[in-house]
Amino acid sequence: ELRLPSKVASQVILTFPRSAMIHDDLVAPINDQITSEAYASQLYLQMSMWAEDKGLPGASKFFRGHVAEEMDHRNRLVDYLVECDAPVRLQAIPAPTAEFESLVSIINAAYDHEKMVTEQIDALASLALDRRDFNTFNMLQWFIAEQREELVLFRGIVDYMKLAGFTGGPGDALVNLDTFLLSQCHAH
């Protein structure tokens, strides 16, 4: 089940002929995950726009990079369903919030979001194993590794933020953090 700001119910109509490559029970959750990845892309674009508005080029570029990454995650799932000859049914993507207090709150929100996506991927992997759907389980290995990378990346930024003594207001620590984010653009 997705936990997005406004819950999106899976609208997959399972009238498609059964695929030999994916267990039926995985088709709707993977369609939900397609929406979740698209939502992450929207969220990071909104965060990038917030940073742009505040004159923070490092943060803006960092989050902008994640926009394309999340679209890649979405496309991987779409391609997998196509490969399995299973239905793709796109859903409405909830609007992300555009109101953020500071760069601290954005970084923390992004880290929390990645933790949530990690739980979603883990739940998918656990369902795939339970249904002995080894194709899907194998496909999800890439996402498991990707989520580990995402968590390491964001935890590193949170740690740096604490180290730099940045609490949210303007000043040297903010400039320092923005420069650090710029340095993380190619780290992933």
Measured over all CA atoms, what is the biggest interatomic distance in the chain, rounded to whole angstroms? 60
CA distance 100 to 117: 20
Nearer to ligand OFO, 121 or 174 (CB): 121
Given 2, 4, 40, 81, the residue binding ligand OFO (CB under 6 A): 40
CB of 111 to ligand OFO, least distance (A): 11
- C-alpha dihedral, 62 to 65 to 66 to 72, nearest 10°: -170
Tell me if 117 contacts ligand OFO by CB under 6 A: yes
Nearer to ligand OFO, 70 or 133 (CB): 70
Nearer to ligand OFO, 32 or 150 (CB): 150
CB of 157 to ligand OFO, least distance (A): 13
CA distance 80 to 83: 5
Closest CA to 121 of 91, 149, 94, 95: 149
Tell me if 37 contacts ligand OFO by CB under 6 A: yes
H helix runs in the chain, sequence order: 24-53, 57-83, 103-130, 134-163, 172-183
Tell me if 150 contacts ligand OFO by CB under 6 A: yes
- Give the footprint of ligand OFO on this chain (CB under 6 A): 37, 40, 70, 73, 114, 117, 146, 150
